[in-house]
Amino acid sequence: MGKMKLPFFFIFSLLACTSLATSAPNPPNFVVIFIDDMGYGDIGPFGSKLNETPHLDRMAAEGRKLTSFYVASPVCTPSRAALMTGSYPQRVGLERGSDHAVLFPGDPHGLHSDEITIAETLQKAGYATGCFGKWHLGDQPQFLPTSQGFGTYYGIPYSNDMWPGLKRWKFPDLPILQDTKVVDVVEDMDEQAALCRLFTEEAVKFIRTNKDKPFFVYLPHAFVHWPRQASPEFIKDGKTVETSQVEEVDWSVGQILDTLRDEKLADDTLVIFTSDNGPAGGLSAGPLRGRKGSAFEGGHREPTIAWWPGTIPSGTACDELCTAMDLHPTFAKMVGEPMPSDRVIDGRDIAPLLLGEDGAKTPHDRFFYQQGGKLAAVRSGNWKLFTNGQLYNLAEDIGEKSNVAEQNPDKAAILQSMLEAFQKDISENSRPVGTAPNSRTLVPRPGVKGDEGFIPTLQLGKSG
């Protein structure tokens, strides 16, 4: 990959970021728990009175809530691309899938092999790396986790609704992979319900196996994405399936944290809990406007907790703007590995925010929102401007109810220039999406024999 011209504001902010010193005593183990379609208001630490989340409540009491933590897109694939690379999804060609909002089974596109993921950076630093759950960055061999820095993988390659039960599309069976091999398929709702437990058990096993070396666990759950079913022990009279799933996710968090405690690893492990985008139907964005797919706060701002006993100050909260893109450069800084210098990385080191350093401020002077795979808004400070001209003051109006563009034309003009600069920057500093020739699904469509059963779903179009 050739070197790219870096914009001045990127070079300036990178230098400012790298000058920050962290107080982390030693490089920790890392665990990232990434929920699917959970909203800002779905867990106790962020105000839910509906769902009982004792393990997350304890995690927040022992750790730090990040109340202005954003993902880079309000839908699955682009959000995950940004987390892995530290770059906006437009930079890596994954602001959308192929002719759809996200990647589909057999899609010829995926995360390019030239991209450097958070797993590759940590693997280079000597970490054991494992991914357990929903990947959704391409299902062809060169796109799968084991080709992107993970030493082991157990999970589903895309969303759990991409199966024959969703009749709008001609989907194949939903495969479960061990590394690159299909070892099972999800055939019914009981097996959908088992996914949270399966992924949790694999992550726990990985932690116990690698307890004597540094490790990185990426646990991207399929829960709470539709179709929804929880394990029987979480289904109780009067509780919705959404509540049951949220409470099973809470159980999963408890399993991970209890394992770290049991193995005497708690003081040596940084755990991040968050979601890939805002809530789908039946779930809650709390005080925020908008949901999954939206450029309003509810689509991008996620319920996030950072936990590292003895290092992260307990029972605290941080309202400084930070993003999922920041995890890659932050972890890299902690382990002493450089980020790539031949490309634009949008994430920044947020260790001072995580560690509660006195006076720590966000390293971002702007953050960009997406909708439908396109640039939709920008936040700078407490001001947020949409491409349609709507302006909101998030400090006074977190629910984005009052458009104050007419009263603040100077603010709107400044943010409009940021939107225009970002569009220009992306046109000059983006990288290609990964492309796999002759792509095919991992398993055939039910009842279809021969090569025809492996035709990529999007090539078949919607069902009649």
Residues 341 and 377 in one domain: no
CATH number for the domain spanning 411: value is 3.30.1120.10
| Mean pLDDT within 373-382 | 98
Q: d(Cα 114, Cα 112) in Å, to the nearest integer?
A: 5
Q: If you search the block for the tokens 């996914």, which residue do you land on?
A: 195
Same domain, 284 and 406: no
- At which residue do the structure tokens 């089974």 appear? 105
pLDDT in tens, 313-361: 999 999 999 999 999 999 999 999 999 999 999 999 999 999 999 999 9
Q: Does position 7 have pLDDT exceeding 60, yes or no?
A: no
What does the DSSP assignment read for 398-442? TT-----TTT-HHHHHHHHHHHHHHHHHHHHS--PPEE-TT---S
User: Are the CB atoms for 71 and 300 separated by under 8 Å?
Assistant: yes
Cβ contacts of 237 within 8 Å, gap of 6 or more: none
> 367, 71 in Cβ contact below 8 A?
no
* 3 state DSSP class of 202: helix
The two structure tokens encoding residue 183 = 């070892």
Query: Is there a domain that residue 301 lies in?
Result: yes
> Which residues, 6 or more positions from 295, have their beta carbon under 8 angstroms from its beta carbon?
74, 369, 370, 371, 376, 377, 386
Which amino acids are annotated catalytic?
76, 136
Same domain, 282 and 328: yes
CB atoms within 10 A of CB 77: 30
Token code pair at residue 249: 């996710």
* Six-digit token string for 222: 């399929």
* CATH code, domain carrying 343: 3.40.720.10
Cβ–Cβ under 8 Å, residues 335 and 127: yes
Q: What is the pLDDT of residue 441?
A: 98
Give pLDDT, residue 238. Answer: 87
Same-domain status, 328 and 390: no
Residue 3 clears pLDDT 90, i.e. is over it: no
116 and 242 both lie in a single domain: yes
Residue 440 resides in a domain: no
Which residues, in sequence order, are CB contacts of 203 under 8 Å at separation 6+?
31, 130, 132, 217, 219, 256
The answer to whether the predicted template modeling score (pTM) of the entire model surpasses 0.85 is yes
Angle between helices 241-262 and 195-209 (to 10 degrees): 10
Q: What is the DSSP string of 277-337?
A: SS--TTS--TT-S--TT-SSHHHHB--EEEE-TTTSPTTEEE-S-EEGGGHHHHHHHHHTP
Judge if 218 and 144 occupy the same domain. yes
